[in-house]
């Protein structure tokens, strides 16, 4: 009796690459391919993806609406953490990968599969995020990454697809590599690989060119509870709805375009264009509320955590214990970040124009220059004396009146060894 083929669960987007992966895995690994398509709000038709998967040779096509999970476990925690990689990237793609990996692992267990597969190349961060997450959650599962493995050029891939009856979109394949979910859209490759070239307008799908954005600003209100957005314009709604509404509103005003020359984990600098209208407005509004509700020291320390958190997410280490530690800090740190922020959206920019919070640390009677001032200005004199004391002492001894020049920078590379210092033995001597 013929042995049943082993099963592999393939993360399937519905695009050409992953469609070709189905046939390629069957041919090269002799495995049965089950596809898994997760809806993270990238705007795909799940039914269509399911039919296409079966049409290109999957034995079973699974689809899952993971929007709620994505928002609650990934996007909003990252927002609370203030996680923005290198100060530019809200991490949309990076946050989606560990969730897809987790879903792959769950389905693999359910289906008795021995492997999972994804369509990432060998040059990006996504392969790392997938592989590390799967290895962490299910070390026994084998990982197949056809695109990393095959040696086909784009044209050969299309030829391969045609040979196997895999429909190739008639329109010339976009020269860009695009990944998107509710939190944002990432675009790379093609002409974008020249950092001097302005991104052509046709790469943008979610944002209006700011010069064509409405001539009237729009004011919106976002309400947060412990760092999580719960209402838009005074209407309470679930996170996925809030984000998608805000994507439309802020996108119309041209907000959230980012041109980032980023440091990939795999050692390459790459130029990526992002569109993240909702995430941009939410991060900004959230920060504005933190400015009102966090003490100076809490805010300063939180900024360190934000950076660590962003690096950890970017580097694919979502499922590590340090993440749990940082998350615990963030949750605690966010317990007073409750309130409402009013933002003005206009031609590509968003600005805070008002904020209020029941936990506000802003005190009118301390800040005012008008009547009602309760600040003790005389106490400032003594404070200034003590605050500047150490600097004043140092200046008198070390700085004032001295003309010492800076020394040449020490080199960290030792000089070449002199020839006579090299002890050389040849084989004959031995």
Per the residue annotation, which of 17, 39, 131, 179 is the catalytic one?
17
Annotation marks residue 17 as catalytic: yes
Over the Cα atoms of the chain, what is R_g? 27
Q: Interface with ligand ARG includes 18 (CB under 6 A)?
A: no
Q: End-to-end distance of the chain based on CA atoms, in angstroms?
A: 63
Structure token digits, residue 53: 């998967």
**Which residue from 133, 181, 186, 357 is in contact with ligand ARG, where contact means CB under 6 A?**
186
**In the complex with ligand ARG, which residue's Cβ is closer, 45 or 86?**
86
Stretch that binds ligand ARG, among 71-79, 179-187, 300-308, 368-376 (CB under 6 A): 179-187
Q: Is 198 left (phi over 0), alpha (psi -120 to 50) or beta?
A: beta
Structure token digits, residue 261: 């020359």
Is residue 267 within 8 A of residue 280, CB to CB? The reply is no
For the bound state, the minimum distance from the C-beta of residue 179 to ligand ARG, rounded and expressed in Å, comes to 4
Q: Interface with ligand ARG includes 174 (CB under 6 A)?
A: no
Q: Interface with ligand ARG includes 132 (CB under 6 A)?
A: no
Q: Interface with ligand ARG includes 180 (CB under 6 A)?
A: no
**Residues in binding contact with ligand ARG, number by CB under 6 A:** 10
Interior CA angle at 65 toward 63 and 70, to 5°? 125
Q: Please, which contacts does 158-166 make with residues 24 or more away whose CB atoms are closer than 8 Å?
A: 158/16, 160/20, 160/23, 160/24, 161/16, 161/19, 161/20, 161/23, 164/23, 164/56, 164/57, 166/16, 166/19, 166/20, 166/23, 166/56
Q: How many CA atoms lie within 13 A of 371 on its CB side?
A: 0
Per the residue annotation, which of 19, 39, 120, 126 is the catalytic one?
126
For residue 143, CA distances in Å to 29, 107, 313 come to: 12, 14, 21
Stretch that binds ligand ARG, among 8-16, 28-36, 181-189, 283-291 (CB under 6 A): 181-189
Stretch that binds ligand ARG, among 63-71, 172-180, 244-252, 295-303 (CB under 6 A): 172-180
For the bound state, the minimum distance from the C-beta of residue 53 to ligand ARG, rounded and expressed in Å, comes to 20
Is residue 148 within 8 A of residue 171, CB to CB? The reply is no
**Which residue from 32, 39, 157, 188 is in contact with ligand ARG, where contact means CB under 6 A?**
188
**In the complex with ligand ARG, which residue's Cβ is closer, 223 or 262?**
262
Any idea of the CA torsion for 58, 63, 66, 67, to the nearest 10 degrees?
110
Q: Interface with ligand ARG includes 13 (CB under 6 A)?
A: no
* Contact positions with ligand ARG (CB under 6 A) in 71-130: 93-94, 125
For the bound state, the minimum distance from the C-beta of residue 327 to ligand ARG, rounded and expressed in Å, comes to 20
Is residue 37 within 8 A of residue 47, CB to CB? The reply is no
Annotation marks residue 142 as catalytic: no
Q: Interface with ligand ARG includes 177 (CB under 6 A)?
A: yes
Q: Interface with ligand ARG includes 312 (CB under 6 A)?
A: no
Q: Interface with ligand ARG includes 42 (CB under 6 A)?
A: no
What is the longest distance spanned by two Cα atoms in the chain? 97
Nearest alpha carbon to residue 84 among 306, 322, 329: 306
**Using CA atoms, how far apart are residues 11 and 44, in angstroms rounded to an integer?**
14
Stretch that binds ligand ARG, among 46-54, 100-108, 174-182, 240-248 (CB under 6 A): 174-182
Stretch that binds ligand ARG, among 138-146, 173-181, 285-293, 407-415 (CB under 6 A): 173-181
**In the complex with ligand ARG, which residue's Cβ is closer, 91 or 337?**
91
**In the complex with ligand ARG, which residue's Cβ is closer, 96 or 251?**
96
Annotation marks residue 359 as catalytic: no
**In the complex with ligand ARG, which residue's Cβ is closer, 90 or 113?**
90
For the bound state, the minimum distance from the C-beta of residue 274 to ligand ARG, rounded and expressed in Å, comes to 8
**Which residue from 17, 179, 223, 290 is in contact with ligand ARG, where contact means CB under 6 A?**
179
Per the residue annotation, which of 50, 52, 97, 271 is the catalytic one?
97
Stretch that binds ligand ARG, among 45-53, 68-76, 175-183, 361-369 (CB under 6 A): 175-183
**Which residue from 17, 157, 272, 290 is in contact with ligand ARG, where contact means CB under 6 A?**
272
Q: Is 165 left (phi over 0), alpha (psi -120 to 50) or beta?
A: left
Is residue 63 within 8 A of residue 50, CB to CB? The reply is yes
List CB contacts of 10: < 8 A, sequence separation 6 or more. Answer: 18, 21, 22, 25, 33, 34, 35, 36, 58, 116, 117, 118, 119
Annotation marks residue 97 as catalytic: yes
Per the residue annotation, which of 59, 148, 174, 177 is the catalytic one?
177
Site for ligand ARG, rule CB under 6 A: 93-94, 125, 177-179, 186-188, 272
Residues with catalytic roles: 17, 97, 126, 177
């Amino acid at each position: 009796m013929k042995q049943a083929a082993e099963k592999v669960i393939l993360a399937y987007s519905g695009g050409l690459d992953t469609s070709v992966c189905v046939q390629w895995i069957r041919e090269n690994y002799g495995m049965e391919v089950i596809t898994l398509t997760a809806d993270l709000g990238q705007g795909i038709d799940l039914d269509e993806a399911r039919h296409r998967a079966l049409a290109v040779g999957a034995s079973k096509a699974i689809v899952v609406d993971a929007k709620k999970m994505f928002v609650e476990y990934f996007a909003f925690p990252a927002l609370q953490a203030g996680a923005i990689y290198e100060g530019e990237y809200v991490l949309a793609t990076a946050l989606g990968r560990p969730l897809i990996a987790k879903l792959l692992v769950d389905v693999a267990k359910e289906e008795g599969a021995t492997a999972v597969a994804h369509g990432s190349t060998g040059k990006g961060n996504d392969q790392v995020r997938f592989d590390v997450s799967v290895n962490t959650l299910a070390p026994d599962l084998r990982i197949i990454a056809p695109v990393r493995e095959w040696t086909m050029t784009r044209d050969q891939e299309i030829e391969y697809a045609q040979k196997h009856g895999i429909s190739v979109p008639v329109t010339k394949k976009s020269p860009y590599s695009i990944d998107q979910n509710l939190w944002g859209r990432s675009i790379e490759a093609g002409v974008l690989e020249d950092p001097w070239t302005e991104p052509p307008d046709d790469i943008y799908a979610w944002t209006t060119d700011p010069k064509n954005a409405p001539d009237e600003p729009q004011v919106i209100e976002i309400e947060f509870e412990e760092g999580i957005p719960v209402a838009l314009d005074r209407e309470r709604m679930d996170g996925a709805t809030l984000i998608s509404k805000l994507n439309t509103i802020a996108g119309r005003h041209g907000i959230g375009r980012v041109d980032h020359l980023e440091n990939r984990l795999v050692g390459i600098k790459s130029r990526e264009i992002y569109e993240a209208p909702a995430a941009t407005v939410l991060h900004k509004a959230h920060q504005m509320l933190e400015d009102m509700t966090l003490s100076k020291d809490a805010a300063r320390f939180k900024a360190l955590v934000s950076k660590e958190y962003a690096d950890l997410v970017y580097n694919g280490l979502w499922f590590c214990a340090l993440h749990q530690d940082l998350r615990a800090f963030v949750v605690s740190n966010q317990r007073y970040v409750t309130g409402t922020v009013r933002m003005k959206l206009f031609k590509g920019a968003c600005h805070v124009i008002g904020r209020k919070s029941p936990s506000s640390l802003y005190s009118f009677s301390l800040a005012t220059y008008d009547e009602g001032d309760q600040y003790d200005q005389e106490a400032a004199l003594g404070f200034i004396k003590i605050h500047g004391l150490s600097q004043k002492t140092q200046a008198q001894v070390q700085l004032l009146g001295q003309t010492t020049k800076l020394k040449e920078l020490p080199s960290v590379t030792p000089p070449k060894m002199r020839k006579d210092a090299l002890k050389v033995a040849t084989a004959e001597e031995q």
